[in-house]
Structure 1
Amino acid sequence: MKQSSVILLLFALLCSFAQAQVLPFRTYSIEHGLSESVVNDLIQDSEGYLWVATSYGLNRFDGIQFKNYYTEEGLLDNRVTALYEDHNNQLWIGTESGVNVLRSDSIHTPQALRPLQSSTVLAIYQDQLNDYWFATDGEGVWHWDQSRNLTQYREVNGLGGDRVRDIVEDDRGVLWFATREGLTKLEGGNFRTFTTEDGLADNRLRDLALTSDGLLWVATRGGLCRVKEDDIHCYSEDDGLVNNRIQSISVTESDGLWLGTEEGGSFFEDEHFTNYAIEEGLANNIIQATQYDREGNIWFGTFGGGISLFLGSGFKNYTVEEGLPNNVVTAITEDPSGSHWISTYGGGITRIDSSGSATTYNSENGLVDNKVYTLDSDGEGRLFIGTRWGLSIFDGHQFVNFDEEELPYRKIRALHQSRQEPGNWWLGTYGEGVLKYDGNRFEQLTEEDSLANNTVMAVEEMEDGSVWLATYGGVSRLRDGKFTNYTIQDGLPNNGVLDILKDKAGNLWFATFGGLAQFNNNGTFETITAADGLPDEVCYFIEQDDRGIFWIGTNRGIVRFDYGAYSSGQNSKEVPAFKLITQDQGLVANEMNAGASYEDSNGTLWFGSVGGVTQFDPTKEKVNRAAPKVHIENITVSGESIGVKPDLEVGSDNHNITFTFIGINFTAPHQVEYRYRLKNSGEGWQRTTERSVRYPALMAGDYTFEVMAQNNDGQLSAQKAEISFTVLAPFWLRWWFFILLLVVISGVIAFIYNYYRVRKMVDIERMRVRIASDLHDDVGSALTEIALQSDFLQTMDVDDPLQESIRQIGNQSRKIVSSLDDIVWSIDARNDTLGDLTDRMQDHVNSVLPEKEVTYQFEGNMEEKLQVSLKENLYLIFKEAINNIAKHSNADKVEVALSTNGRGFSLRVRDNGSSAKNERKSGQGLRNMKMRSNRIGADITFNNSEGFEVRVEHAG
């Protein structure tokens, strides 16, 4: 055995830093999208957005990205100096050149406030009467009442000074003004100003705030002042304030005060100040604005450092910047003095004392190797250190190292002091089994002794004396000199076991490459994997705090595991069974290291990672009960942004729709989970951690997209964001196209039908003309010839009986010729018009009634064609009526009227014959007229009053 002395004088050369821890500040500046790093004001609106007023532009922040507004978007000036949300949730913007108001994401300039455009507006306030007040830098305050009257108040009117920085109103309706010349209150129409003579620390005021107990707090250039019923009490650096020059005040829900000063931030509660500056992780010490958000976080707007979000003091981080020699932390332990020791892979070991100072020891000081795997304290002040090149024991003064003959097994990966035999140690190695060290010699146990695997990552001992070993081949239990091995076949989620924990109840837990496993008394394992909700399968270590909550190191961060909530099958009231803690919440890095965890004597947990070490106080754990405000940010159709607007319609050729949304959460913005659905698409509620959803092929129809957001503490947004839209059908599937198609098809059918109908009608007309011609030329000529022959025979000397027969033949032939003439006229297609009918009617009247006075009244389109049956029957009815007049009437006047309207017709034939004569107008002729009127569907009436009238009507 050889010993190496450490010269204490070298300590001065070692890294030593006071208060060497970094708190979880998250900073956003120009490189993150902020328009400018000089921040003048901060506000969180009712929709959850954080608004940042800078010296070059206005910014809206949703936890992920910034949206910038400049003069191009409507600002009166790019230097934004004040922000305020009124009772109607409108955002008012004070600039160096007047006031703007933002409505529906559009910036407007109220015309009535144009007089303020020559003023730098430093504060805006709406009082209980809904009147607006505008504080300016040098022109006092402007009052804009409900009657839209604008009134200016200056120092000459009683205001303390013309440079006014802030305005508030207390619950009694008293207005308070922070001026550069003191604190002014407006009560009952009267001004009164308080100065240093009344107890103020300084007359130069910057900000005002009211707490729920009615106290008014004043930020001055000389400290913090409290005003209660005109009594003023002040606090300064002598009371613990970080700096007297206070520029901003924000109030927490418990009436704590966050103060922004020119030397950092202070939190004031219970008459005590806690201060934060660059040394604790703040981006810049000059703080010009503060904002306490709805999640319980405090924001600092700085002069040149952008905005910093402080997540609380539960996490403290140590890296190379705070004194660590290396950021790859492999193990943590605590010595009896309360100092913490950190081992790093490549930098040796570092001691962090109770003051936060860090001191590093490495191979130059006697450590056997700087690449340290593990370390542990024996309770007597000695530190056992397992390295890549053997074991070192440090007693606070010197290192004791072992040569290769004494300890040929060099890679010491795990250390455990026996509880049953405190003088004995168990050493797990990389690839060479487990070693038992009794202070004098090393005893090796390997796979040849039935060890599951020669790489041993962790060792734990139970009260029954059994020793449990985490190996790369499963879990080995050594009891009574014999090994019992457990692998995947026995219920382990993975054979690569990295850590062992004996919990507060005495149960064994194993962290593996495939999840967690709890060993039950019946010899079985309860596995907990990603399928059960574990955020990551690779579990590097497992710890349990004093409340019974488990903390698991993974590649994605630390998993908070509430086994009680998990085993009951329900989430706990405050948080879900699994909760992922990442850099967002304050970890120094997300990727942990195997076995690099420790619970110290105060119940504080330490987590080692590839980026440093994190100290976590579970008693300061924050639960974010503020559910995210969810908004649909944008809609993209076929790659083109169309914004979010009502009554949205998407064309038939643009079915690729993407919805972008955000659940505003600042504590863990990248761990917000979304639930969404598309109503009328057939899908139910879906889950995603992405902030957009794409629907590539929606059918035509009406849809509503709905989305809700849930934070990492299980709080689900009470209201969902939704947008309704219509996907239009292709034109060939729209109703008007079907109607058009039906019309076209009907038109084609009608065209074809009419074409063939007309063609058939033409053929029929041709046939009618041919038949008429044949009847006229052949039959008519033959009958005429018979009539002429009968006339010739009558001139000859024949017997009287024969003479009579010949005469009858001639008369019958002429009668047939006359009837045939009517038939030929009816059949002939060239006689189908209304004009042809009236001409025929006149010809017949002239031939039958040549001596009577006849009047005609014809109405209608003379070129209108009539159906053959209508023309024939109508003419024959008319002919019969005229023949009756000729045979039976003594009339000397006859009226003939015929009218058509394209649908129906009316025929009237009237004579003025005497009633005695008209009584003979009956018999076969009237029956024939009735029969013919029935054929054409017409009504026929006879009227023998004052003559005789035949009326034939068809309504059409």
Structure 2
Amino acid sequence: MKGIILFVLFLNLVLPQQFPLRYDVFSSNEGLSQVTIFHILQDHEGFLWISTAYGLNKFDGYSFEQYFNDKDDSTSIAYSSIGKLFEDSDNRLWIITKGILNLYNREQNNFIRINKTDDLDIYGIIEDSKRNLWCFSSKGLFEFNYEEKAFTDFSNSSEYKELIKNHLYEDFTIYNDIIYSASRKGEIHLYNLQNRVIEILHDSDKKFADFITSIKSDNNGDIWITTLEKGIIKYNISSKKFSYYNLQNKSTSENNFFKMNTKKKEELLAAGKTGLHKYNLQEDRFEKIRLQEISSGEEKNLTITDINIDNHNNIWFGADAVGLLKISNTKNQFKVLSESKNNPNSLPSKNVISLVEDSENNIYIGTFNKGVAIYDKNFNLLQHLENNPNNNNSIASNNIAGLLITNENKLWINHFYKGSSIIENNKVKRLPKFGDKKATLAISSLQIDDDNILFGSFLQGLVIYNKENNTAVEPIYDSSLSLPSEFGVISIFRDSKNNIWLGTNGYGVLKYDFNKNLITKPKNEKLFDLSKTYCIYEDTDNNLWFTTDKMGVVKFNSTNDSIVTYLSNDKYSQLSYYGIIEDNNKNKFVSSNNGLFLIDADERITSYYLEDGLPNNEFWQNSFIKLQSNLIIFGGNEGLTIFNPDSLLELSTEHNLMLRKFKLMNKEVSPGSNPILPKNLEVLDKMVLSYKDNFIEFEFASVNPANPKKVTYAYKLEGFDDNWFFTDYKRRFATYTNLSPGEYRFIVTTAENNQPNINNSRVLDLIINPPFWQTWWFYTLMVLLISSIIYSFYRIKINKIIEMEKLRLKIASDLHDEVGSTLTKVSMRAQMLEMQINGEKESNNLKRISEQAIDAVSTMQDIVWAIDSRNDNAENLINKIKDTVFSMLVEKNIKVDFEITGLISDLKVPLEVRQNIYLIIKEAVHNITKHSNADSAKIYLCNSTEKLELIISDNGNNYYQKEFSTGQGLKNIEMRAEKIKGKVEYVKENGFKIVLSAPPIK
């Protein structure tokens, strides 16, 4: 507020009473529940709370959230008719509705009802210096214990009981732990909270007015009282003196006041039936503030019901039957003078073509169709020059093309195709044409000396006019120039070196030598490429500036011949730049057909638009001026934009970012209505969603920033978005679809020049739970299940192996015990019969039976050995081989050598490998004993990582013919080798050698 009031006071010194404060309106069209406003409060988070005749409203600067009573919901506000609002030092928000004290539950975005009207009919709440809460009710003043939700009466004295019996308090304030309460009967009662004493404050009469509407204390020890019909009363606590401010004969016709705002004494405001009034500290009086609605441009008389000054010094007030009104701090730094039917001091036309100032600080404003308006330095309208067909002493036309103040302080007016009008001492001299030149459209001008003036024309280029002789001369054009017979010179400027520069309408920048009457190209031909140049200007550092059409703003340093271009990137490439003015701090202000731009001394660019307080975004060529008072004015199609460059405010970079709404599947989710949103989104730190919640949207806002429409937002979902996304105030939401299960972090912040302000952000952790089949516990369960199945199969296999081994063991035992025993008996009986029979033939048959029985026993023993699982290791295999080989070869006096490697004792040897290796060796040894005539043999058995190798060799010499002729034994060897995936080779070298290669035993 300080910025506003100080700015207003500044304008009062320079522009007294000529510029109203402009305001925006928020009504039911913008979402306000009802236009009858009782109270406005800004809470610690920046939200504006507005109590109305129907509904409570929460405003974030962009949209309203409404609260009403719901008879089926005990957590809704008690009544829809809302009274006073109060936020205590613990940031608790209290709302009073028809006697019910409601506490706003921020976590759940609902309300807790404290009392019942049967017990206490509460209509006010206040807090003392010790943070105790006090409530006014129909039964008096009560101290409220928040923890116990209990009320304690202020006093039990009979005096107190008698006093409160007949009084209800309209308003109250507290200062030094004394409550000053305004009775509806016009009395002021003082409640001393320290000693629990009550007294009546009075001047000559204890009754100040028939009706006191409000009472407020300021920081200087003054109590301010507003009344109906009797104006405003000030009570100074230290001096105990009263001051009365009766405004009936000053700035208003009535003295009905409703509210005061006493944030600071120099900013004290009073609101009432006749509008808004501010306190003039120096003159100790109240003055009415003129108010103008921005949208209509009209001044309004309003009945104001409440006032609040927010943390950006904007003034908010309720206007009866209108709604919520805002006097923006930033918008009112620009003052507007335009056409208004209800204001006799306004412009005759809102279309401003040209501006000049004379030596007496009078301002001349040329309009498109209403002549010239002349204002003094305080913007009081002095005179309106317009054409009168019946008066030759009037100007030639109301259509103004350009203005010039001559060296003699004469006003030279150029018209559209009507020549010129020259004003001196209130006399008008019409000049139909320049010498022998026909009337032309002269929009720019420059006086060279007392006699000669340069005029720039849309059709005739440059015209050099000698006013003494009334002659016009055309310039000479350099031979390097190729210009049409009709072209426009739209800007003329003489720099500090007396160079004259011409800006043309499509033919670049040219230079003019007055002494030679010669037009040439500039030395730096890049300037010649600036097709259409509306304005040429020299700054305090002697740089030349050129404003162009769609080619930006160009700075030319003639010392080093360098050129720098501004406002030419894609964002601004289609703009036309008209005027440029430098302030006392080397800041340049540039007008365009879409906004006003500031290029500061550090070459940073700030833009100003309609939402910043401009009456319109479109300005006009040659319609700009810097006054001697340092005020800058730009003209356009909505009048004048006037401002003091030294008082322009920088927007605050402090923002309170809030998540305002959450939508699931395009439907808004309320706190507590869905497990996803267990509490208010504004206080939520983490959100957990299901994988099915695949369409979500967050709405966000900076809560009541200085200028809501100027805020740029940046947001990002970490874990999903690689880059930041930037958006403006119109699209304050982020939408995401088909997010994969996982953990994310949503961040929203403000941005400057496409750079997010990460130090000022709102963060929400987001967890997307996967489907159950993608959870860790499901994976664990599956691992356990699969492991159980595998283990079950393994156990089944092991059990089968064990059963098979048991079976093998049983078969081996049965074969050994039953079949082996029987065969042995057969063999023994055959031998006994052989000894008893003398016949040779019978004896041979019995002998053969005996041998076959012995062979059968041997074979059966081999089978028993093979299938016995107790023999499934390398040690048993080696022992079996050695036993068999020794028993077979020693009997034949054949020496045998063994070399066995790679077979450790407990190495498990598969049944098939063990059996076939053994039988191959047995078959080979059998052939050695039977056919080889050898006296020595060698058995080599090696198990390596690469293969199992078996070599059986002898030194015999008679083996081959017999064995290869029949071939049965070798075939058996080959057959058994194939069973273990091996290969057999036969080598005749110093005897006979069998070589077997098979896969290794692992």
With the length of structure 1 as denominator, give the TM-score of the two structures: 0.71
1:286 corresponding residue in structure 2: 303
Q: Distance in 1 between matches of 2:409 and 2:206?
A: 56
Specify the SS of the correspondent of 2:512: strand
Question: Which is further off, 336-345 or 125-134?
Answer: 336-345
CA distance in 2, matches of 1:127, 1:535: 60
Q: What's the CA shift string for 1:687-709, capped at 9, x where partnerless? A: 65453345667665433233333
**Kept in 2: contact 1:671–1:711 (CA 8 A):** no
Whole-angstrom distance in 2 between the partners of 1:408 and 1:700:
80
In the alignment, the residues of structure 1 paired with residue 119 and residue 338 of structure 2 have an alpha-carbon distance, to the nearest angstrom, of 50
**2:982 maps to which residue?**
none
Classify 1:774/1:652 alpha carbon distance in 2 versus 1 (closer, same or farther; 3 Å): same
Shift of 1:348: 4.2
**Aligned counterpart in structure 2 of residue 476 of structure 1, from 484, 488, 510:** 510
Distance 1:535 1:55 in 2: 50
Matched, 1:669 2:708: yes
Change (3 A) 1:149 1:770: closer
For 2:18 and 2:322, locate their aligned partners in 1 and report how far apart those are by CA, in whole Å: 21
- CA 1:488–1:254 in 2, change beyond 3 Å: closer, same or farther? farther
Q: Shift in Å at residue 784 of structure 1? A: 5.0
Equivalent residue number for residue 177 of structure 1: 181
Preserved CA contact (<8 Å) 1:551 1:561: yes
> What SS does the aligned partner of 2:611 have?
coil
Q: Say whether the 8 Å CA contact 2:475–2:518 is kept in structure 1.
A: no
- Select the residue among 441, 453, 459 that pairs with 1:425: 453
Summarize the Cα distance change of 1:370–1:768 in structure 2 as closer, same or farther, 3 Å threshold: farther
CA distance in 2, matches of 1:748, 1:487: 92
Preserved CA contact (<8 Å) 2:699 2:733:
yes
Please give the secondary structure, in 1, of the residue aligned with 2:116.
helix
**What letter corresponds to residue 164 of structure 1 in structure 2?**
Y
Q: Which aligned pairs between 1:63-142 and structure 2 lie closer than 5 A?
A: 63-72=61-70, 74-104=76-106, 106=108, 108-115=110-117, 119=121, 121=123, 123-135=124-136, 140-142=140-142
Q: 1:232 aligns with which of 239, 242, 246?
A: 242
Conservation of the 8 A alpha-carbon contact between 2:178 and 2:191: yes
Q: Distance in 2 between matches of 1:214 and 1:656?
A: 58
Unaligned runs of 5+ in 2: 1-15, 670-676, 871-909, 912-1002
Q: 2:56 aligns with which of 58, 80, 85?
A: 58
Greater CA deviation, 374-383 or 624-633?
374-383
Structure 1 residue aligned with 2:607, among 571, 575, 580? 580
Residue 288 of structure 1 aligns to a residue in which SS? strand
1:233 CA drift (Å): 1.9
Aligned-residue offset at 1:212: 2.5
1:158 counterpart SS class:
helix
Indicate yes or no: 2:131 matched with 1:144. no
Aligned equivalent of 2:493: 460
Match of 2:534 in 1: 498
**Post-superposition offset of 1:543:** 1.6
C-alpha distance after superposition, 1:96-142 (max 9, x if no partner): 35222212264655454223798473x43222233323345x66544
Map of 1:26 onto structure 2: 24
Structure-2 change in CA distance of 1:265 and 1:512 (3 Å): same
Counterpart secondary structure, 2:463: strand
Give the drift of 1:826: 8.7
Q: Is the 8 A contact 2:104 2:110 kept in 1?
A: yes
Which residue is equivalent to 2:589?
Answer: 551
Structure 2 residue aligned with 1:621? 648
1:341 paired residue number: 364
> Residue 667 of structure 1: SS of its match in structure 2?
coil
Q: Tell me the equivalent position of 2:916.
A: none
CA contact (8 A) 2:435 2:471 kept: no
SS of the residue 1:720 aligns to: strand
Q: Does 1:310 align with 2:330?
A: no
Q: CA deviation at 1:67?
A: 1.7
2:652–2:706 Cα contact (<8 Å) kept: no
Paired residue secondary structure (1:495): coil
Give yes or no for the alignment of 1:205 onto 2:205. Answer: no
Aligned-residue CA RMSD (Å)? 4.8
Separation (CA, whole Å) in 2 of partners of 1:646 and 1:619: 43
TM-aligned CA deviation for residue 189 of structure 1: 0.7
Q: Which amino acid aligns with 1:551?
A: F
Q: Secondary structure at 1:670's aligned position in 2? A: helix
Counterpart in 2 of 1:706? 747
* Residue type of the alignment partner of 1:169: I
- Verify the 8 A CA contact 2:713 2:749 in the aligned structure 1: yes
Which string of whole-angstrom CA distances, capped at 9 and with x for unpartnered residues, describes residues 496-537 of structure 1?
A: 322222334554322223332222132332322355998995
Counterpart among 677, 681, 685 of residue 646 in structure 1: 685
SS in 1 for 2:628: coil
Provide the C-alpha distance between the structure 2 equivalents of 1:168 and 1:710, rounded to a whole number of angstroms. Answer: 41
Q: Is the CA contact 1:168–1:208 (under 8 Å) kept in the aligned structure 2?
A: yes
CA distance in 1, matches of 2:400, 2:412: 11
How far, CA to CA, are the matches of 2:361 and 2:565 in structure 1? 36
CA contact (8 A) 2:476 2:519 kept: no
Q: C-alpha displacement at 1:51, in angstroms?
A: 1.5
Question: Structure 2 CA distance, aligned partners of 1:200 and 1:357?
Answer: 47
Please say if residues 353 and 367 of structure 2, whose CA atoms lie closer than 8 Å, have aligned partners that are also in contact. yes
Give the aligned partner of residue 262 of structure 1. Answer: 273
Q: 3-state DSSP class of the match of 1:114?
A: coil
Q: Indicate yes or no: 2:24 matched with 1:36.
A: no
Return the alpha-carbon distance in structure 2 between the equivalents of residues 283 and 827 of structure 1: 116
> Relative to 1, partners in 2 of residues 1:474 and 1:634: Cα closer, same or farther, differing over 3 Å?
farther
Once residues 620 and 756 of structure 2 are traced to their aligned partners in structure 1, the CA distance between those partners, rounded to angstroms, is 31
TM-score by length of 2: 0.68
Secondary structure at the counterpart of residue 511 of structure 2: strand
- Unpaired segments of 5 or more residues in structure 1? 1-17, 567-576, 830-867, 870-956
Per the alignment, do residues 641 and 753 of structure 1 end up closer, same or farther by CA in structure 2, a change over 3 Å counting? farther
CA contact (8 A) 1:428 1:458 kept: yes
Contact 1:282 1:308 in 2 (8 A): no
CA deviation map 1:60-114 (0-9, x unaligned): 2222222222224712222212111112212211223522221226465545422
TM superposition shift of 1:292: 1.0
Matched residue, 2:944: none
- Flag the 1:364–1:64 CA change in 2: closer, same or farther, 3 A: farther
Separation in structure 2 between the aligned mates of residue 459 and residue 732 of structure 1, nearest angstrom? 79
- Partner Cα distance (1:621, 1:254) in 2: 24
Q: Between 160-169 and 358-367, report the one with greater CA deviation.
A: 358-367
Alpha-carbon spacing, 1:716–1:248, altered in 2? closer, same or farther (3 Å)? farther
Q: Which sits farther off after the overlay, 204-213 or 726-735? A: 726-735
Q: In the alignment, which residue of structure 1 is the partner of 2:553?
A: 516
Q: CA 1:822/1:695 → structure 2, altered by over 3 Å: closer, same or farther?
A: closer
Q: 1:786 to 1:464 in 2, by over 3 A?
A: closer
Partner of 1:194: 201
Kept in 1, the 8 Å contact 2:355–2:624? The answer is yes
Change (3 A) 1:677 1:550: same
Aligned residue-pair number: 792
Match of 1:926 in 2: none
Does the C-alpha gap of structure 1 residues 406 and 94 become closer, same or farther in structure 2, counting only changes over 3 Å? Answer: farther
Structure 1 CA distance for aligned equivalents of residues 756 and 305 of structure 2: 32
Q: Is the 8 A contact 2:418 2:432 kept in 1?
A: yes
Are residues 75 and 740 of structure 1, via their aligned partners in 2, closer, same or farther at CA, if it must alter by over 3 Å? same
Task: Output the amino acid matched with 1:552.
Answer: V
Instruction: Tell me how far apart the structure 2 counterparts of residues 277 and 426 of structure 1 sit (CA, whole Å).
Output: 44
Structure 2 contact 720–744 (Cα < 8 Å) conserved: yes
Distance 1:237 1:328, change over 3 A: same
Question: Are residues 615 and 423 of structure 1, via their aligned partners in 2, closer, same or farther at CA, if it must alter by over 3 Å?
Answer: farther
Please tell me whether residue 485 in structure 1 is matched to residue 521 in structure 2. Answer: yes
**Aligned 8 A contact 1:487 1:495 in 2:** no
CA separation of 1:638/1:496 partners in 2, compared to 1, >3 Å: closer, same or farther? farther
Partners of 2:491 and 2:504 within 8 A in 1: yes
The answer as to whether partners of 1:347 and 1:370 remain within 8 angstroms in 2 is yes
| Contact 2:554 2:564 survives alignment (8 Å) | yes
Q: Which moved more, 1:789-798 or 1:201-210?
A: 789-798
2:582 is aligned with what amino acid? Q
Comparing 379-388 with 173-182, greater Cα deviation is found at 379-388
Cα distance between partner residues in 2 of 1:150 and 1:409 = 88
Specify the alignment match of 2:465 in structure 1.
437
